[in-house]
Structure 1
Amino acid sequence: MKKNEPITKIATKNPYSVHTGQKLSEVRHLFKEKGVHHCPVVSGDKLIGIISATDILALSFEAFGTDERSIDSVLDNRFTIEEVMQADVVSVLENDTVRKAAEILSEGRFHSLPVVSSQGELKGIVTSTDLIRYLVDQY
């Protein structure tokens, strides 16, 4: 791994994001249709949280065995994005290195890191999969 490689080299730029006014069913469908597992939550351009497919799955379990509409109804009528998202988000700055992201992700508490500007604006996202691909390319 190049010691000072910028995180922007491997981060996904302009990642899918959601805002607090959206319904959880929309988030669930975004995960399903786009194949993503983590989604930053923004207010304007500012990162305010992150939500994962696992967060939605845990809530969907309550409607287990029912049809898609019932699952969506449970999600939309009982919960908001603010209630489900992780508001205490660990992120990296756009001028941080791949090494810094690797150190954070290696702790194993989560599998994605939003990339933000010094003003807190969402610039990208890097996942453990992005990091593994980078390492494979290096070696």
Structure 2
Amino acid sequence: MKRVQVPVSEFTSEELELVDVNTSIIEVYKMMKDKGIRHLPVVDGDKAVGIISDRDVRFCSHMDGAAYLTAREIMTPDPIAVSMHSPLGRVAYEMSNRKLGSVLVFDDKGALYGIFTTTDALNALVEIFSETFPLDLDSKEESIFL
């Protein structure tokens, strides 16, 4: 059976919310809450320099002076990045292996293309799996959750 290499870009979230390095932790929290976002790329000008997770915000919110912290102070600098052409399976494997919640995805010109998250990986799994084993995702049967 021939293997098909699906590029990560096919499942990458392209509609990005970005925060500037000088954005306050309060604004970061509000943006994440209002938009339902768990990972935010941090930019300095037009360059992606870090990433903030909802876990970072929760952790820092208990610190003295937390209200005065900025994105620069709570971000993870130099985020893991991949090319938009990277194989989806390899990216998902590396994320799992390194316990990453997201990676930044860049285009051929080095510009930020999007973000690939564990949720995107699960969406890819469902789509690819359902091509081989059709799923009735609209079923009105009992919930699968206990």
TM-score class, shorter-chain normalisation, is 0.7 to 0.9
Q: 1:113 deviation in Å?
A: 0.8
CA offsets, 1:61-102, max 9 Å, x none? 247xxxxxxxxxx4332x222121111311111121212211
Q: Give the total of aligned pairs.
A: 127
Q: Give the TM-score, by structure 2 length.
A: 0.78
Q: Give the TM-score, by structure 1 length.
A: 0.82
1:75 paired to 2:66: yes
Higher helix share: 1
When the two chains are superposed, the root-mean-square deviation of aligned CA atoms in Å is 1.8
1:109 paired to 2:110: no
Which of structure 1's runs of 4+ aligned residues deviate more than 3 A? none
Q: 1:119 deviation in Å?
A: 4.7
1:89 paired to 2:79: yes
Q: Which has the higher contact order (CA 8 A, sep 6+)?
A: 1
SS at match of 1:138: helix
SS at match of 1:49: strand
Shifted more, 25-34 versus 2-11: the winner is 2-11
Distance 1:93 1:50, change over 3 A: same
Q: Distance in 1 between matches of 2:86 and 2:17?
A: 21
Larger Rg: 2
SS at match of 2:73: helix
Structure 1 equivalent of residue 126 of structure 2 = 136
Structure 2 equivalent of residue 67 of structure 1 = none
Q: Distance in 1 between matches of 2:23 and 2:71?
A: 7
Counterpart amino acid of 1:76? A
